[in-house]
Amino acid sequence: MELAYLVNNGQQKKYTFNLNGKLITLVNGDFVNGWKFIEDQNKIQFSKGNKVIDVN
């Protein structure tokens, strides 16, 4: 999964990722395949249980 682009409308950031050729858009707190998307102070991560994956 790679970050394709980011839209910041001043209230909420929307991150669009390329996931196996399909574009998905997520905002802070959304879930995808059981993973929670977290955006905190320009750091983005996915978490599931005790596992955390940083997105560069």
33-56 confidence digits (pLDDT tens): 899 999 988 789 999 999 999 987
3-class state of residue 34 by DSSP: coil
Work out the average pLDDT over 4-19: 89
Please report the pLDDT score of residue 2 as a whole number.
82
Q: Give the pTM.
A: 0.79
Residue 39 structure tokens: 């955006």
Task: Give 3's pLDDT tier (boundaries 50, 70, 90).
Answer: confident
Query: How many Cα neighbours within 13 Å face the side chain of 32?
Result: 17
Query: Which residues, at least 6 apart from 27, have a Cβ–Cβ distance to it below 8 Å?
Result: 12, 13, 14, 15, 37, 39
Task: Give 10's pLDDT tier (boundaries 50, 70, 90).
Answer: confident
